[in-house]
Structure 1
Amino acid sequence: MTEPVQESGEPTPFGEDRDPARVVAFSDAVIAIAVTLLVLEIRPPLDTRHLPHGLAALWPSYLAYAVTFMLIGQVWANHHIMFDHIRSADRLVLFLNTVLLMDLSFLPFAASVLADTFRDGHGQRTAVVLYGLSFELIAVLFNLLWWHARHERRLLVPTIHAAAVTAITRRFRLALVWLGAGTLLGALLPGLGVAVIFAFIPYYWLPIAGEIRRSGRRRGRGDQA
């Protein structure tokens, strides 16, 4: 079997061009399992004689479930945005993505701890810090992955514009500051820290600058054709 040859005529180094599609497919599967496990952390009331009261008392679990589901959904969406522009996954990308998925799989536990402390009234500071640090680590890994991919544009698709690279970079860096601030505030004022982390949801579901405008132009050109 002959070795693959680059345009320059030199053989392609072993393992350099690894299709990121399998990385995305594996990541999607892990994320799907993680969001499914979230609901298993909501334990039914043991006393069915006072079921309405027991169900109402689980409100911290409902809230932790809903918020964590939406935050993991953001991780999934931004993971796709990032890998849409990565043409090749080297071993460092595989390693960083594996650590990212390992941390993401920990989130159902962190959400359960957070809900339990707010329901019982003890340990909220520690729980908020644990919860915040779990998402902060994800933000760190996103930034490391994107920095490695965009370094000298070695792993990026050639069609991505410099403005798009900058916009994605700014979005990922802001996540570091936002989640870090929520975690630090949670160590002092748990309720405020949780509110800052929760406020992350509506902002980060907004499209990255330029997404809608570019897609609108493409649709316009398609209609004219």
Structure 2
Amino acid sequence: MERDPSRVVAFSDAVIAIAVTLLVLEIRPPQDTRHLVHGLATLWPSYLAYVVTFMLIGQVWANHHVMFDQIRIADRMVLFLNTVLLMDIAFLPFAASVLAQAFRDGQGQRSAVVFHGIAFELAAMLFNAIWEYARRHRRLLVTTMDSAGARAISRRFRLALTWIATGTLLGALLPALGVAVIAAFIPFYWLPIRGEIAETKPRRDGGGQA
């Protein structure tokens, strides 16, 4: 049975929107308003966890659209893998809260960075699983996707696995360095994938889905 992936994308957008909204709810205002500036300043771990996690989830959202721009059919396996991906994304606000709390308390920072990193590593693994499954079953992809474009997307998604894993491992030794490595992933991953625009334009011009 052939399923239009537009509903998958719409549902995924909703879950991701809720996840990023929940992030800010984890930042609690200072109780001591007599020293409000100091209290706000001491919340820097919450701000850091919020910004890093929000931008990483934003990357998940952007690249999810890149991936499903090239998937024209969502079979049961795609639906299942995408559901597990969304389950992991919904868990990320909790991982961010754990990270912020550990840095505020000055204890458990190594475990918190590893915990946060593993949550994003799982998202990267699921991304790769969805794409590689669709790539192996070419009938699921748009007809405008050629082998070079498919390999370009695969390389970008596989890079996420290595980069986040490296930051997670470094975080087990030096928590601040681990966070810095994962944060450095943000500006790089927002760069467009080679062939991304060229491959999606013909589909829109031909009356396909955006």
TM-score band, normalised by the shorter chain? over 0.9
Alignment of 1:39-54 (within 5 A): 39-54=24-39
Instruction: Give, in angstroms, the shift of residue 152 of structure 1.
Output: 3.9
Residue in structure 1 matched with residue 90 of structure 2 by the alignment: 105
Residue in structure 2 matched with residue 62 of structure 1 by the alignment: 47
Residue in structure 1 matched with residue 130 of structure 2 by the alignment: 145
Q: Does 1:209 align with 2:194?
A: yes
Conserved 8 A contact 2:16-2:61: yes
Structure with the largest fraction of helix: 2
Q: Which runs of 5+ in 1 are unaligned?
A: 1-15, 219-225
Counterpart selection for 2:71 from 86, 108, 129: 86
Residue in structure 1 matched with residue 205 of structure 2 by the alignment: none
Counterpart selection for 1:188 from 173, 176, 191: 173
Counterpart selection for 1:172 from 157, 160, 178: 157
Aligned residues: 201
Counterpart selection for 1:116 from 97, 101, 126: 101
Residue in structure 2 matched with residue 5 of structure 1 by the alignment: none
Q: Structure 1: which amino acid aligns with 2:26?
A: E
C-alpha separation in 2, matches of 1:105 and 1:127: 18
Residue in structure 2 matched with residue 9 of structure 1 by the alignment: none
Aligned residues: CA RMSD: 1.4
C-alpha separation in 2, matches of 1:128 and 1:192: 10
Q: Structure 2: which amino acid aligns with 1:137?
A: L
Identity across matched positions, percent: 76
Q: Which structure: larger Rg? A: 1
Residue in structure 2 matched with residue 4 of structure 1 by the alignment: none
Counterpart selection for 1:154 from 130, 139, 142: 139
After TM superposition, what 4+ stretches of structure 1 lie above 6 angstroms from structure 2? none
C-alpha separation in 2, matches of 1:27 and 1:110: 19
TM-score (norm 1): 0.86
Aligned partner of residue 209 in structure 1, secondary structure:
coil
Counterpart selection for 1:29 from 4, 9, 14: 14
Q: Structure 1: which amino acid aligns with 2:32?
A: D
Instruction: Give, in angstroms, the shift of residue 156 of structure 1.
Output: 0.5
Instruction: Give, in angstroms, the shift of residue 105 of structure 1.
Output: 0.5
C-alpha separation in 1, matches of 2:51 and 2:169: 22
Instruction: Give, in angstroms, the shift of residue 159 of structure 1.
Output: 1.1
C-alpha separation in 2, matches of 1:154 and 1:117: 47
Between the two structures, name the one with larger relative contact order (CA 8 Å, sep ≥ 6): 2
Instruction: Give, in angstroms, the shift of residue 63 of structure 1.
Output: 1.1
Instruction: Give, in angstroms, the shift of residue 22 of structure 1.
Output: 0.3
TM-score (norm 2): 0.93
Deviations 1:23-45 (CA, angstroms, capped at 9, x unpaired): 00000000000000000000011
